[in-house]
């Protein structure tokens, strides 16, 4: 009796387990429990199968992981709406249409010269994609001016093969009545570029004509 009481006292003070004491004493492994008890889910037990360690705990992700992770993609920065970087032989006037920045450049140049100037400005010759954009542009036209309309070589008819800058199909048109006509209503490759007239209508022109031009960029 004295030995049992002493062990019970040690169990309280130092974690000594009495083999006949009530089950449930805390443990990490089975050798922490008195025989025949075994460690089950962190507690000594006489009846369950031995489990030497509590279930593993998944550690939280390392704080460094968040630092090392790549940042989320950032949308491309929109360029300011000004004429900085545009080679314009005359006056450059900026305005907004269709959510994009437009510049009207005066100076009378050939279509290829106008295209190169727009690309150097990080834009293109202007594209008019819907009636709202057409209405927005109209008040800014001061003379016949190049826009991005271009006819592919080898087209079968004056009205065939037109795109915006050689890439984008036309979803909206505002051709002058009877245009495009390639000059004589026969496709002969004479007028494969196009301009916008002062009334807002479009006309096919010879690419080596000298006109003002519109550039556009986001």
The full set of domain ranges for the chain reads: 2-45, 92-217
Picking from 98, 174, 83, 84, the residue whose alpha carbon sits closest to that of residue 137 is 98
- Supply the pLDDT for residue 28: 76
- Kindly report the CATH number that applies to the domain delimited by 92-217: 3.10.100.10
Structure tokens at 92: 């450059």
Q: Can you spell out the DSSP letters for 152-209? A: PTT-SSTTSSEEETTTEEPS---BPTT---TTTTS--SS--EEEE-TTS-EEEE-TT-
Q: Quote the pTM value.
A: 0.66
- Supply the pLDDT for residue 66: 43
- Supply the pLDDT for residue 27: 79
Peptide bond into 134 cis (omega under 30): no
- Supply the pLDDT for residue 48: 56
Q: Name the DSSP letter for residue 74.
A: -
Structure tokens at 60: 């939280």
- Supply the pLDDT for residue 25: 76
What tens digit of pLDDT does each residue of 129-160 get? Answer: 999 999 999 999 999 999 999 999 999 999 99
Share of the chain above pLDDT 70, in %: 76
pLDDT average, residue stretch 155-176: 96
- Residue 210 scores a pLDDT above 80: yes
d(CA 211, CA 108): 4
- Identify the weakest region by mean pLDDT among 40-49, 83-92, 140-149, 192-201: 40-49
């Amino acid at each position: 009796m004295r030995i049992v009481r002493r062990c019970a006292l040690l169990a309280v003070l130092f974690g000594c387990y009495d083999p006949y004491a009530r089950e449930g004493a805390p443990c990490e492994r089975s050798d922490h429990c008195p025989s025949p008890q075994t460690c089950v889910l962190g507690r000594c037990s006489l009846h369950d199968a031995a489990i030497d360690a509590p279930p593993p705990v998944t550690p939280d992700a390392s704080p460094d992981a968040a630092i090392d992770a790549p940042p989320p993609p950032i949308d491309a920065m929109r360029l300011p709406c000004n004429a900085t970087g545009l080679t314009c032989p005359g006056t450059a006037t900026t305005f907004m249409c269709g959510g994009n920045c437009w510049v009207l450049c005066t100076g009378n140049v050939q279509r290829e010269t106008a295209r190169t100037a727009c690309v150097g400005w990080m834009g293109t010759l202007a594209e008019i994609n819907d009636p709202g954009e057409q209405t927005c542009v109209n008040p800014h036209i001061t003379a016949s001016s190049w826009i991005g309309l271009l006819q592919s070589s080898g087209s079968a008819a004056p009205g065939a093969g037109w795109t915006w800058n050689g890439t984008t199909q036309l979803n909206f048109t505002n051709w002058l009545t009877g245009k495009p006509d390639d000059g004589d209503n026969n496709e002969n490759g004479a007028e494969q570029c196009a301009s916008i007239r002062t009334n807002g209508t479009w006309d096919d022109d010879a690419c080596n004509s000298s006109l003002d031009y519109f550039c556009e960029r986001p």
